[in-house]
Structure 1
């Protein structure tokens, strides 16, 4: 685990995947955005946390958020299936595969989850960006919970 990215720092230009395992590109960050990092798709706590961001999408838009990105250390097949499972009718929330944990490691928000999830994973966090600059960083103290990183809590801080 390296040092976590700081407020004011630039989001690393690391390639991630969204729609296909063959197509990788850095996140396109214009305006205010949320990057929600979770340890793994379909895991119990993550599966409970992310519906709040889907349900509150319009509330986040009303607070000036341009895009919501949910990142997980999973492959693009898994993140696409997870999005379809959580939002069968579709959602503008974007699900991002960080399949090699390169983006998470570049943020300094990785952790060793070998005993639980088989390898390196993301800590549970929310980054608010202004363009490609970090304007707020919220890291969950215990990745088994989502208290400070719940959609409702994040909304109160915007």
Structure 2
């Protein structure tokens, strides 16, 4: 009997070590900087969470666009700080447009079903802001804006950041010192930088 449990314990330990190794490698990327092109990595749309024949949802490639866009990275849908931050952008959307912003995207390391439900909760009457799911943290890892949130959120998550992108290149990126903070990434602060 102990052999079966011993093998299970060894397998669980190996799996935990592999997961930690994967998380460590994701966290090792350099943080994206002004002048850098944004990653050409597709994100899942919140508006189409139905699965296709291959078992995947529709992908978005809209982040590679002409003009000025805002990308708002958040640690997790439905978390209190994120649910307090995003409504600032929803309320100030017209002010962003008046300053030449073509689109605002909220990117969360969550599945698209969760992101869709969160958008509906935050904006029950709709919003032009797009919510995108980085379900496997590929986008977030490529930008270097990832941290190990395993103790609280179960795995690597996005740092809280606000990125101004002009014609596919980062012009400014603002990252909070701690994920719960909403200071340099508040809508009011970002508007002042435009």
Q: TM bucket by the smaller chain?
A: over 0.9
Q: If the length of structure 2 is used for normalisation, what is the TM-score?
A: 0.80
Partners of 1:20 and 1:120 lie apart in 2 by: 24
Partners of 1:44 and 1:81 lie apart in 2 by: 15
Equivalent position of 2:135 in the other structure: 99
Equivalent position of 1:44 in the other structure: 80
Task: Please state whether the residue corresponding to 2:39 is helix, strand or coil.
Answer: coil
Aligned counterpart for 1:25 among listed residues 51, 55, 60: 60
Corresponding residue pairs, total = 158
Equivalent position of 2:102 in the other structure: 66
Superposition CA RMSD, Å: 0.9
Task: Compute the displacement of 1:28 (Å).
Answer: 3.8
By relative contact order (CA 8 Å, sep 6+), the higher-ranking structure is 1
Q: If the length of structure 1 is used for normalisation, what is the TM-score?
A: 0.97
For structure 2, the residue ranges without an aligned partner over 5 or more in a row are: 1-26, 50-56
Task: Please state whether the residue corresponding to 1:144 is helix, strand or coil.
Answer: coil
Partners of 2:83 and 2:64 lie apart in 1 by: 25
Maintained 8 Å contact 2:38/2:64: no
Partners of 1:5 and 1:59 lie apart in 2 by: 26
Aligned counterpart for 1:55 among listed residues 91, 94, 98: 91
Q: Could you list the per-position Cα deviations for residues 80-136 of structure 1 after superposition, in whole angstroms to 9, with x for gaps in the alignment? A: 111110010000000000000000000110110000100010000011000110000
Partners of 1:87 and 1:141 lie apart in 2 by: 28
User: Bigger radius of gyration, 1 or 2?
Assistant: 2
